[in-house]
Copies of this chain bind each other. A is one copy, B any other.
Amino acid sequence: MKILEDVCTNMEKIRRVHPLVHNITNYVVMNFTANVLLALGASPVMAHAREEVEEMVGLANALVVNIGTLSTTWIESMVAAVRAAKGRSIPIVLDPVGAGATRFRTQTALRLLEEARPAVLRGNGSEILALAGGKANTKGVDSATGSGEARQAAIALAKSYGIVVAVTGAEDFVTDGAKTAVISNGHELMSRVTGTGCGASAVTGAFCAVEEDAFAAATGALATFGIAGEIAARGGPGPGSFQINLLDRLYALESQTIEELMRIILL
């Protein structure tokens, strides 16, 4: 299957070339995000100062923008980074954490979406629905939206902005507006560790750094991260050890394991 080959090829490429992934992300997940990228084989950098973001973007192979603990000065840096990335054709992943929860987040996410037209927009159901103009049923930064509704919203956003949209949840859904993929990997413990969504966005950034086809990159990234999560859940009794196992499993993940466990349906 073509997509399986792509996933394994891209994972190997990340491990070989160590793409530099520039993250402007939230305080809660910075450490975990950096460790996820290192475990995968990518090279993370976190930098948010207005004085240096453009120069740092210029060194990067992908830019991941995450609005989890937003403030006004950071938005300016996010916009500058996004413009620099567009100017240099560096792929952007946007993670609109908490869109729909407050107007500030929804408006900022929409502004960044408009500026960036990112390779991939990755959010949970509530966030994607909120950005599509729907009435999101959100709970802080956690989703409380049905998956059918969110998928329609994802398709609408993908078409409207000409981007790939990924909705993660019990099943992950990826669409470019025409093609769609449903990924049934992952484990429910992922929702009991903070930053797994943000980690999925960062992994998507690493895949985008080595794969021009954003649909293939997002699908492969979410399958890879989900499979590592599945195996990690076998190894421990709760969310603490799960978080640690997830890093170990990402680090040690083999192509054969991906082949055995990957569950992607292309529609």
Instruction: List residues of chain A with CB under 8 Å of any chain B CB.
Output: 18, 20, 22, 26-32, 34-35, 38-39, 43-52, 55-56, 59-60, 68-73, 98, 101-105, 138-142, 191-195, 236-241, 243-252
Query: With A140-B22, A194-B38 known to touch, is A68 a contact of B52 (CB < 8 Å)?
Result: no
B59 touching A46, Cβ below 8 Å: no
Q: Which residues on B sit within 8 Å (CB–CB) of A245?
A: 240-241
Q: Which residues on B sit within 8 Å (CB–CB) of A240?
A: 35, 39, 243-248, 251
A47 touching B28, Cβ below 8 Å: no
B52 touching A104, Cβ below 8 Å: yes
A249 CA / B59 CA spacing, docked (Å): 36
What is the CB-to-nearest-CB distance from A174 to chain B, in angstroms, rounded to a whole number?
25
Query: With A18-B139, A45-B98, A140-B20 known to touch, is A55 a contact of B104 (CB < 8 Å)?
Result: yes
Q: Which residues on B sit within 8 Å (CB–CB) of A105?
A: 52
B68 touching A46, Cβ below 8 Å: yes
Query: With A28-B30, A140-B43 known to touch, is A247 a contact of B252 (CB < 8 Å)?
Result: no
B27 touching A46, Cβ below 8 Å: yes
A193 touching B102, Cβ below 8 Å: no
Q: Which residues on B sit within 8 Å (CB–CB) of A43?
A: 139-140, 142
Find the B residue at minimum CB distance from A138: B59
Pick from B38, B104, B246: contact of A193, CB below 8 A. Answer: B38
Pick from B26, B103, B239, B247: contact of A239, CB below 8 A. Answer: B247
A56 touching B252, Cβ below 8 Å: no
A103 touching B35, Cβ below 8 Å: no
What is the CB-to-nearest-CB distance from A68 to chain B, in angstroms, rounded to a whole number?
7
